[in-house]
């Protein structure tokens, strides 16, 4: 029965991952259709300072956050409603815009905090990206109830997203980078979960850990992009990919342990953990190939000088499927 269930979940997982990882996949098409008016409005606001790559980043965050929302919705009996999907898409756009304001437009902490706190700023003093932020922020708040508004408006929840620029500081300590990684990833998932699920003290801790785990997965597979951009992640403090994999294993086990302590049904927890394990397995496959190409040694300076193709790994090749499928299909609910 377990093999049959895992096979069904695997087919569902593969179809969703393919759809979200392709620029013209169904998640992207759906996000663009739902946010068609908002995208059109953004183009009218744009004075040329918001580039095509910026707009594309917003689209990717919209599609990705919708996908993550679907994964989290596995924890409840109801499917996502249209208004929830719309809110997930708006929140994804806001996460992308916040990154762009800080990293690309170099807006300071105080400036961004004013926008997040709803401070009134004269329209002629707002940049185009700030106007777009306010527009999406108001759209998100207009579609959710008062309790969810209070969670979204809580600036302390969005603060780590703003402080991500600290990762461009090469003098940050390993402990500081781990703290920032956990806060950045944990906050993103907690915000997404707050749109869909009642946040209790117990499941808040689990969601924060789940977000941290996902952020560690992302940082692991983005090693080349982060090296080129000067971004410091936990990978920079690892000497080998074996160390990276050990850290991911530790984070997955901690995520599983905390989720199993929540009050969600075992059946629903199984689905979410299966999908997380499948994502984790895919990253392990990439890391194994990275290790083979780089003699299991991590030197960010050397990686920065390498070709991008070195780190381009096809995830639906015969080799990747041979590595991933048996491991994914053997998944069982851990016993803690």
- Are residues 31 and 66 in contact, defined by beta-carbon separation less than 8 angstroms? yes
CB 313 within 8 A of CB 286: yes
Nearest to 100 by CA among 142, 68, 131: 131
pTM recorded for the entire structure: 0.92
- Quick one: pLDDT at residue 286? 96
Which of the two residues, 250 and 169, has the higher pLDDT score? 250
Predicted local distance difference test score (pLDDT) of residue 166: 73
**What digits encode the pLDDT tens for the residues 72-85?**
999 999 999 999 99
Amino acid 325: pLDDT? 94
pLDDT > 80? residue 21: yes
SS3 331: coil
The pLDDT assigned to 160 comes to 65
Count of residues for the chain?
336
Q: What are the tens digits of pLDDT across the range 36-56?
A: 999 999 999 999 999 999 999
Residue 189 to residue 68: CA distance in whole angstroms: 8
Region 19-29: mean pLDDT is 92
For residue 236, the number of C-alpha atoms closer than 13 Å in the C-beta half-sphere is 25
| Average pLDDT over every residue of 108-116 | 74
Q: What is the pLDDT of residues 114-129, one digit of tens each?
A: 777 767 778 788 999 9
262 or 162, higher pLDDT? 262
The pLDDT score that the predictor gives to residue 101 is 85
Nearest to 97 by CA among 11, 158, 33: 158
Give residue 136's pLDDT: 94
Q: Measure the N-to-C terminal CA separation of the chain; round to a whole number of Å.
A: 22
pLDDT tens across 176-226, in order? 999 999 999 999 999 999 999 999 989 999 999 999 999 999 999 999 998
Q: How far apart are CA 58 and CA 55, in angstroms?
A: 5
Q: What percent of the chain has pLDDT over 90?
A: 71
Q: For residue 165, how many other CB atoms are within 10 A of its CB?
A: 15
**Residue 336, pLDDT score:** 58
Out of 16-25, 90-99, 121-130, 268-277, which region has the weakest mean confidence (pLDDT)?
121-130
pLDDT category at 155 given cuts 50, 70, 90 is: low
pLDDT in tens, 134-152: 999 999 999 999 989 888 8
pLDDT for 157: 65
Does residue 267 surpass a pLDDT of 90? yes
């Amino acid at each position: 029965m377990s093999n049959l269930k895992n096979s069904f979940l695997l087919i569902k997982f593969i179809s969703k991952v393919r759809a979200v990882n392709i620029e013209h996949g169904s998640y992207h098409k759906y996000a663009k259709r739902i946010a068609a008016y908002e995208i059109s409005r953004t183009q009218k606001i744009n004075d040329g300072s918001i580039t095509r790559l910026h707009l594309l980043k917003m689209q990717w965050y919209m599609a990705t956050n919708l996908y993550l929302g679907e994964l989290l919705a596995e924890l409840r009996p109801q499917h996502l409603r249209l208004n929830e999907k719309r809110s997930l898409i708006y929140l994804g756009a806001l996460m992308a815009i916040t990154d762009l304001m800080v990293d690309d437009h170099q807006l300071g902490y105080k400036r961004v905090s004013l926008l997040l706190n709803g401070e009134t700023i004269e329209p002629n003093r707002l940049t185009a990206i700030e106007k777009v932020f306010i527009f999406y922020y108001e759209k998100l708040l207009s579609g959710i109830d008062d309790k969810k508004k209070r969670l979204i408006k809580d600036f302390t929840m969005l603060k780590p997203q703003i402080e991500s620029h600290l990762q461009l500081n090469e003098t940050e300590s390993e402990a500081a980078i781990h703290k920032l990684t956990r806060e950045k990833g944990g906050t993103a998932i907690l915000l997404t979960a707050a749109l869909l699920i009642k946040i209790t003290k117990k499941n808040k801790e689990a969601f924060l850990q789940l977000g941290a785990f996902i952020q560690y997965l992302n940082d692991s597979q983005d090693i080349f992009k982060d090296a080129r951009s000067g971004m410091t992640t936990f990978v920079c403090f690892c000497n080998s990919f074996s160390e990276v994999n050990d850290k991911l294993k530790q984070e997955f086990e901690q995520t599983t342990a905390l989720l199993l302590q929540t009050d969600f049904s075992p059946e629903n927890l199984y689905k979410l953990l299966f999908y997380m394990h499948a994502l984790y397995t895919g990253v392990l496959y990439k890391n194994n190939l990275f290790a083979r190409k780089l003699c299991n040694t991590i030197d960010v300076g050397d990686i920065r000088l390498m070709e991008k193709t070195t780190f381009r790994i096809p995830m639906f090749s015969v080799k990747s499927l041979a590595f991933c499928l048996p491991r994914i299909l053997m998944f069982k609910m851990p016993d803690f």
